[in-house]
Amino acid sequence: MSPARRRVSSGVPFEQAVGYSRAVAAGDFIFVSGCTSIADGKVVHEGDMTRQAGQALLNVGAALEQLGATLADVVRTRIYVTDISRWAEVGEAHRLAFADAPPATTMVQVAALIDPRMLVEIEAVAHREGGPGEDEAEPDESEVPPDAIRLDEPSADDSI
């Protein structure tokens, strides 16, 4: 294992059975494996997609905390649901968790998750300047190349 990488486990049996870490810090990034509605080793909030999404996000947050980060550091999530017609239920939990700093995200429907009681799984990528555990500096706008396309400003170029 590279000394620049740190791995954490949540202790759920799937990690050992499948051979993965709950989260891996590599450089300035933390990659959190898909989290579901598990608490104390048991599936919780059966049938309630909003509460399952909330629990999954709590589990993402717990993994990040072990590596010195928080949900505020998340820049990307991927959401897997077993019934896309219920997207708004998951969306509400995601919106509340990331109200101050919404990450890029994707939500897709899957045929099933590893346990039929699980309705949603959420994975995340977080970024911390200088690596996990160090204070994140605000980006210096002067470092933006002059020819960079700014998404927060209208473009004068109609070809974009």
Mean pLDDT of the chain: 84
Question: Which pTM does this prediction carry?
Answer: 0.78
pLDDT tens, position by position, 7-44: 777 777 776 777 778 899 999 999 999 999 999 989 99
CA pair distance 98, 109, nearest whole angstrom: 21
Label each residue of 56-120 as H, E or C: HHHHHHHHHHHCCCCHHHEEEEEEEECCHHHHHHHHHHHHHHCCCCCCEEEEEECCCCCCCCCCE
